[in-house]
Homo-oligomer: A and B are copies of this chain.
């Protein structure tokens, strides 16, 4: 089941095309010359909120979450990044420290690009410049939508919406023809939706009883995307 034409995914997810995809050779060369590739194990932290932004991270493969932890230790996931995405570059551009933390959700390969190389590449590359402007302005749109969502919509609606969005990210890794399995802990799902874990569990049970999703252990399979979209209030 595809989402084309029945759900406005672009309103809710950052553009998945990488900022770096098909960058002119010399520009990419410059950017990648001194990169450092490393494997991160599930759960490992990539960078921590409030620390100095030493560089940006290119997610070659795997999945990572960007999140904030509040004073009470509650975690809020801002967004889940997939292979091909660039992490931690906002701080470099704005001159702030990292505004959020990032951690790997499954084993991932990540290339570190030093701050100076990134800044130099921007100076050199018009294409990269335009890409960044486009990416950032689109992110603004997505964040704006999410802000209104969190501020005003009930948890059930938010859960439905995030299931739709997150499912797209797990699609990438799935066998074609096989159902998409969302493999995310209830805790992560809860902090993505902005609620308590118990609440997510209960709402999922409800969706299961209605035949909208199926669960296999922690894995979630969406059986009826259209009804999920209706719950998300997106038609």
Contacts and interface: CB of A to CB of B under 8 A. Distances in A.
Given A96-B138, A132-B133, A140-B139, A147 B78 contact: yes
Interface stretch (A40-48, A87-95, A107-115, A220-228): A87-95
A193 to B, nearest CB: 8
A68 B148 CA distance: 7
Contacts of A139: 136, 140
Interface stretch (A28-36, A69-77, A169-177, A179-187): A69-77
A202 interface: no
A134 to B, nearest CB: 6
Nearest to A69: B148
Interface in A55-75: 68, 70-71, 74
A194 interface: yes
A199 interface: no
Contacts of A100: 144
Interface in A116-173: 122, 129, 132-134, 136-141, 143-148, 150-153
B145 A233 contact: no
How many copies the complex holds: the figure is 2
Contact of A144 (B133, B143, B145, B152): B143
A99 interface: yes
Contact of A152 (B138, B152, B194): B194
Contacts of A10: 96
Contacts of A94: 134, 137-138, 140-141
A219 to B, nearest CB: 24
A14 to B, nearest CB: 11
Contact of A70 (B133, B144, B153): B153
A93 B89 CA distance: 18
Given A78-B147, A94-B138, 5 more contacts: A76-B148, A91-B141, A93-B134, A94-B134, A100-B144
Interface of A: 10, 68, 70-71, 74, 76, 78, 89-96, 99-100, 122, 129, 132-134, 136-141, 143-148, 150-153, 194, 233
